[in-house]
């Protein structure tokens, strides 16, 4: 790929411009070649340093927010081959959590934590924290209370009412903020830590050890930050410490894609950078989009959405954009009856609008919704009613919960046959989309007994019953689970292949240690992020961030349009064809 003038001015900023400032802020909308520019800049900078000093041994650090973004950058780096230079030696690419984790794990004892830290799954963490939070009188177990309290080490993210006020259930907990923090810290000291806590300990580590901070600053003399509009206050503090007073830095950002305000992103983040670095910072921008050279209709819609001028009532289809009206009697999503009718009308419109099988071979379809409830409904409808296969993109929490359960399962040696039955069925249902197998229902697992399997008429349940009976005697739980998972794959069940491959990989590993299972889980997540998207995916708009789909379906635009940035993110996921659905009142 050849750089255009905008990209070239950034790529050569630290190599050909001798009056440059050490900090650069680049506004980079989707499709303008941000990833290419970031990697090319790192390479150009490295080449220049090696020309100046053949013994150059420092690195460029590229920090991203997600494993997916990290994977895309690593793919881009692989395309820059040079027989004389091993760029991987001089360019380090990481996402924030992985970068912080490396140092927190290495210095855990110095931080007052155990040496063997275990990252709790969301399910395990909620169980452990809730049991302690309940000791605080104002805590009543409300989900919003838990979400606010659980993330306190990462930042104070106040859930608001639709009027913009702090929710009453949170307000009554605020006086106990420090007590809640202490509860989390005490559990962390016992070796159980959550993803959201790792940044806190990285910041504490840099505050505590000036020597370590200087060592890191000396290791990376250019730091490139990706999607910086999404940085939280804590991440912003850490990044500024890493840059220090001497290092160079490039902040790539897009103010129109700031959609994580509920997780600490701040609409003033970029303005604050300009104030903080003052005379040391320069602004540039990437404006020219390369993604839509032959798709002017899509480019025009994106430009209007970016300017906040996109009109919901402009139903004009074009060669690459299709608008679909979903006629309903009522548009009240707060009424169960009305919502059921709206969803029912929508699912048929989506099914009929999907490309033909032969048209999407090797391509991706992203169906983007505003709410998780609608995501679940469409997934289920496509799979169960229309027999259309969908794939998982963002089920990290579910996978992590299963891995946490598996660690506990491996430690058990004397389960009775009813307990063993429930354990086996838990993992069997984890690798399928089906809500039931014969008479056994997924939502009733806690009450299932071995005799329920033994008496079942469905052949596959009888197979499970025979294997479980043998396992009770042999105590070979792991080997039995492997056999059960294989039976699932060979039967007429809707298999979740992402979960199947993860579970199979862990079960075939010789080590049952928690840290080893956690590493396998993280590797699986990264490999999934690295993989090219093919097939149909149903997800919410936030989950789609950083992804692109050949065909992008934007569902329930009327609700998304209330948030300009969210609408822009949804529309800008498209590569070739854009399909937009709206509920319209019947005349």
Cα–Cα distance for residue pair 205/30, rounded to 1 Å: 35
Ligand-binding site membership of 322 (annotated)? no
Cα–Cα distance for residue pair 415/404, rounded to 1 Å: 18
What are 167-175's contacts with CB under 8 Å, separation 24+? 169/140, 169/142, 169/144, 169/145, 170/144, 170/145, 172/138, 173/136, 173/138, 173/139, 173/145, 173/148, 173/149, 175/138
Say how far residue 517 (Cα) sits from the centre of its chain. Answer: 20
List C-alpha distances in Å: 316 to 324, 353, 436, 554, 567: 10, 16, 44, 15, 18
Q: What are phi and psi of 430, to 5 degrees?
A: -65, -30
Closest by alpha carbon to 567, among 310, 349, 332, 378?
A: 310
Sequence-distant (≥ 6) Cβ neighbours of residue 434 within 8 angstroms: 442, 493, 494
Ligand-binding site membership of 122 (annotated)? no
Cα–Cα distance for residue pair 203/53, rounded to 1 Å: 33
* 268 and 10 Cβ atoms separated by less than 8 Å: no
Ligand-binding site membership of 30 (annotated)? yes
Beta strands 281-285 and 248-253: pairing type? Answer: unpaired
Residue 296, token pair as written in the block: 């002017």
Ligand-binding site membership of 413 (annotated)? no
Ligand-binding site membership of 390 (annotated)? no
Cα–Cα distance for residue pair 95/100, rounded to 1 Å: 9
Ligand-binding site membership of 35 (annotated)? yes
* 545 and 555 Cβ atoms separated by less than 8 Å: no
Sequence-distant (≥ 6) Cβ neighbours of residue 532 within 8 angstroms: none
Cα–Cα distance for residue pair 285/37, rounded to 1 Å: 11
Ligand-binding site membership of 308 (annotated)? no
Ligand-binding site membership of 447 (annotated)? no
DSSP result, 331-358 = --TTSHHHHHHHHHHHHHHHHHHSPPGG
From its phi and psi, is residue 141 left (phi > 0), alpha (psi between -120 and 50) or beta?
left
* DSSP secondary structure letter of residue 60: E
Cα–Cα distance for residue pair 500/402, rounded to 1 Å: 11
From its phi and psi, is residue 86 left (phi > 0), alpha (psi between -120 and 50) or beta?
beta
Residue 90, token pair as written in the block: 């001089």
Cα–Cα distance for residue pair 243/282, rounded to 1 Å: 16
Residue 544, token pair as written in the block: 């789609």
Beta strands 281-285 and 436-437: pairing type? Answer: unpaired
- The torsion angle over the Cα atoms of residues 111, 116, 122 and 127, rounded to 10 degrees, is -90
Cα–Cα distance for residue pair 232/223, rounded to 1 Å: 17
Cα–Cα distance for residue pair 187/196, rounded to 1 Å: 14
Provide the annotated binding site for ATP: 28-35
List binding-site positions.
28-35
């Amino acid at each position: 790929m050849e750089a255009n003038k905008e990209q070239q001015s950034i790529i050569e900023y630290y190599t050909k411009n001798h009056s440059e400032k050490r900090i650069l802020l680049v506004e980079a909308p989707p499709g303008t070649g941000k990833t290419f520019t970031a990697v090319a800049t790192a390479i150009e900078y490295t080449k220049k340093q090696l020309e100046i000093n053949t013994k150059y041994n420092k690195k460029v650090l590229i920090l991203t927010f997600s494993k997916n973004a990290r994977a895309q950058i690593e793919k881009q780096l692989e395309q820059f081959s040079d027989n004389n230079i091993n760029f991987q030696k001089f360019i380090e690419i990481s996402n924030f959590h992985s970068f912080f984790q490396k140092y927190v794990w290495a210095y855990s004892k110095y931080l007052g934590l155990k040496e063997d830290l275990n990252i709790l799954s969301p399910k395990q963490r909620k169980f452990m924290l809730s049991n302690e939070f309940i000791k605080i009188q104002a805590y009543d177990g409300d989900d919003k209370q838990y979400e606010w309290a659980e993330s306190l080490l990462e930042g104070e993210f106040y859930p608001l009412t639709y009027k913009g006020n702090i929710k009453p259930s949170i307000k009554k907990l605020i006086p106990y903020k420090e007590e809640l923090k202490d509860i989390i810290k005490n559990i962390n000291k016992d070796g159980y830590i959550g993803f959201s806590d790792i940044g806190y300990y990285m910041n504490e580590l840099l505050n505590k050890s000036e020597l370590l901070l200087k060592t890191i600053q000396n290791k990376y003399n250019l730091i490139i930050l990706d999607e910086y509009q999404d940085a939280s206050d804590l991440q912003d503090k850490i990044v500024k410490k890493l840059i220090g007073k001497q290092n160079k830095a490039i902040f790539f950002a897009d103010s129109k894609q700031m959609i994580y305000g509920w997780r600490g992103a701040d609409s003033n983040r970029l303005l604050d950078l300009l104030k903080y670095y003052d005379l040391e910072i320069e602004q540039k921008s990437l404006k020219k989009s390369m993604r839509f050279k032959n798709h002017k209709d899509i480019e025009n819609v994106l430009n209007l959405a970016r300017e906040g001028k996109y009109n919901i009532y402009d139903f004009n289809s074009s060669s690459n954009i299709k608008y679909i009206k979903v006629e309903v009697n009522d548009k009240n999503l707060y009424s169960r009856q009305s919502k059921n009718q709206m969803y029912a009308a929508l699912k048929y419109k989506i099914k009929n609008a999907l490309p033909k099988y032969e048209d999407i071979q090797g391509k991706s379809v992203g169906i983007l919704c505003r709410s998780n409830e609608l995501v679940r409904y469409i997934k289920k409808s496509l799979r169960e009613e229309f027999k259309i296969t969908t794939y998982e993109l963002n089920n990290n929490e579910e996978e992590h919960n299963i891995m946490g359960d598996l660690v506990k399962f491996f430690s058990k040696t004397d389960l009775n046959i009813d307990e063993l039955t429930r354990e086996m069925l838990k993992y069997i249902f984890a690798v399928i989309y089906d809500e039931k197998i014969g008479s056994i229902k997924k939502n009733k697992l806690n009450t299932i007994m071995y005799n329920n399997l033994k008496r079942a008429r469905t052949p596959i349940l009888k197979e499970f019953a025979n294997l479980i009976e043998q396992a009770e005697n042999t105590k070979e739980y792991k080997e039995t689970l492997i056999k059960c998972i294989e039976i699932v794959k060979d039967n007429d069940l809707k298999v979740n292949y992402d979960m199947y491959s993860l579970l199979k990989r862990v079960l075939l590993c010789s080590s049952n240690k928690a840290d080893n299972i956690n590493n396998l889980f993280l590797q699986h997540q990264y490999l999934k992020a690295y993989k090219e998207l093919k097939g149909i995916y149903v997800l919410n708009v936030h989950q789609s961030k950083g992804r692109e789909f050949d065909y992008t379906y934007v569902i329930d635009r009327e609700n998304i349009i209330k948030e300009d940035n969210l609408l822009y993110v949804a529309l800008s996921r498209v590569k070739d064809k854009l399909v937009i659905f709206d509920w319209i009142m019947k005349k």
